[in-house]
Homo-oligomer: A and B are copies of this chain.
Amino acid sequence: MDIHAVARRAHVSIATVSRTINHVPTVSPQLATRVWEAIRELNYLPNTQARALVSGRSRILGLIVSEITNPFFPELIQGFEDCAVENGYEILIGSTNYEPERMQRCIRRMMERKADGVAVMTFGIEQPLLDQLADRNVPLVFVDVAPERPGISILKVDYHRGIRQGVQHLAALGHRRIAFVTGPPRLHSAQSRLAAFRNSLGECGIRVEDKLIIEGDHTMEGGMAAAEKIKAREILPTAIMCSNDMLAIGVLHELAHSGVRVPDEVSIIGFDDIHMASMMIPPLTSIQMSRAALASGAVSALRGHLEGAPKREYRIDTQLVVRESTGFPRGTMAHFRREERKARLLRGKVEPDSVK
């Protein structure tokens, strides 16, 4: 089942079939109809490999993420897939798990399959590896930072806005001792988040205490470990801000495990606002970074290069989403807090006693 079969059936040459499929305007409407009919009757699908071979363009976009099992990424992948398919591109996914060796393999796969462009969403750059792609003139898009080269775009995330909102939210509630659980130090995005946190504290007139900056790794287990470390401090912070939601979930888990109540004793804020955040107990206050915006920005950036309208930068916004893991610091406003809890139960539409 190839183009010749269609040509025979429509009584035209293969050139005409090809032109019809590619909507070249010089084909007479009459023939075009005949060709489309033949295509439908034969259930013909053009061979993508052959097309790619001759046209030099694979219509494949690569997407490299760090860990697909972090719920942030599936939501991103979903958006990327939708955008790409919408525009007639196929996608190739690779996950690095933060291992350079895997990263290397991902890049190799992208090159072998001749990806037309690659979005690197690992939130950290592995410069030497990616040079291989840049050297072959594959358009690239990164998050946060990128080498200054033609064919490379950046999605600039405004971490500061969301994080400032979070810090202000805590400060407004009366928090002064606010801890921060960081992401992996080599991740640029993690560094940016930390920097935004320090900055925002300053803006609120709160001194930054290095002892309250705990190193994490963007996993739930890392969050649990961080919570352990925090509990070992002489004086506990009244609030903990985390570099991503997975950390926050780990922290939440560990605190619950040892009987520390959230938000009564400690407030927690996450980052990313993954879907799961709203399902935690209590629902997690978090800073949202739109996966859809990130995904469509990435696809736009790559298409920009492929279709000759390159643009260096795309901006992505972040924004605080307040839920129930943040509240007044312990020891203050006890009365107020009781009221708050009561209201929350009532919202549940069922009297707590009725289930006894």
The 0/1 profile, CB within 8 Å of B marked 1, for residues 45-84 of chain A is 1111110110000100000000011010111011001000
Q: Are A78 and B71 in contact (CB under 8 A)?
A: no
Q: How far is the CA of A113 from the CA of B59 in the complex (A)?
A: 11
Contact of A81 among B90, B95, B275, B345 (CB under 8 A): B95
Q: Count residues on chain A whose CB falls below 8 Å from chain B CBs.
A: 66
What residue in chain B is nearest A232 (Cβ atoms)? Answer: B350
Are B281 and A253 in contact, with the CB atoms below 8 A? yes
A167 at the interface (CB under 8 A from B): no
**Pair A69/B275 contact, Cβ less than 8 Å:** yes
Is A68 a contact partner of B78 (Cβ separation < 8 A)?
yes
A352: Cβ under 8 A from any B Cβ:
yes
Closest to A275 in B: B69
Complex: A233 Cα to B281 Cα, angstroms: 24
- Neighbouring B residues of A259 by C-beta, 8 Å: 345, 348, 350, 352, 355
User: Of A103-111, A143-151, A194-202, which stretch is located at the interface?
Assistant: A103-111
Contact A113 B90 (CB under 8 A): yes
Whether A27 sits at the interface, judged by CB under 8 Å, is: no
Write the chain B residue with the least CB distance to A75. B69
A305, CB-defined interface residue at 8 Å: no
Output the least CB separation between A219 and chain B (Å).
Answer: 10
Q: Which of B94, B132, B279, B349 contacts A250 (CB 8 A)?
A: B279
CB neighbours (8 Å) of A113 from chain B are 48, 90
CA distance A90 to B69 in the complex (A): 19
Contact status B355-A260, CB under 8 Å: yes
Which of B45, B69, B108 has a CB less than 8 Å from the CB of A111? B45
A253 proximity list for chain B (CB < 8 A): 279-281, 283
Chain B residues positioned under 8 Å from A275 (CB to CB): 69, 220
Q: Are B93 and A265 in contact (CB under 8 A)?
A: no
Chain B nearest CB, measured from A124 CB (Å): 19
| With contact pairs A231-B350, A345-B259 given, residues A46 and B281 touching in the complex (Cβ less than 8 Å) | no
In the bound assembly, the distance between CA atoms of A109 and B50 in angstroms comes to: 15
Kindly identify which residue among B48, B231, B355 contacts A112, using a CB–CB cutoff of 8 Å: B48
A231 to B90 Cα, complex, angstroms: 46
A280 neighbours in B (Cβ, 8 Å): 253, 281
Q: How many angstroms between the C-alpha atoms of A347 and B256 in the bound complex?
A: 12
Within 8 A of B (CB), among A335-351: 344-345, 347-350
What are the nearest 5 A-B pairs in CB distance? A258-B348, A259-B352, A256-B281, A49-B52, A258-B350
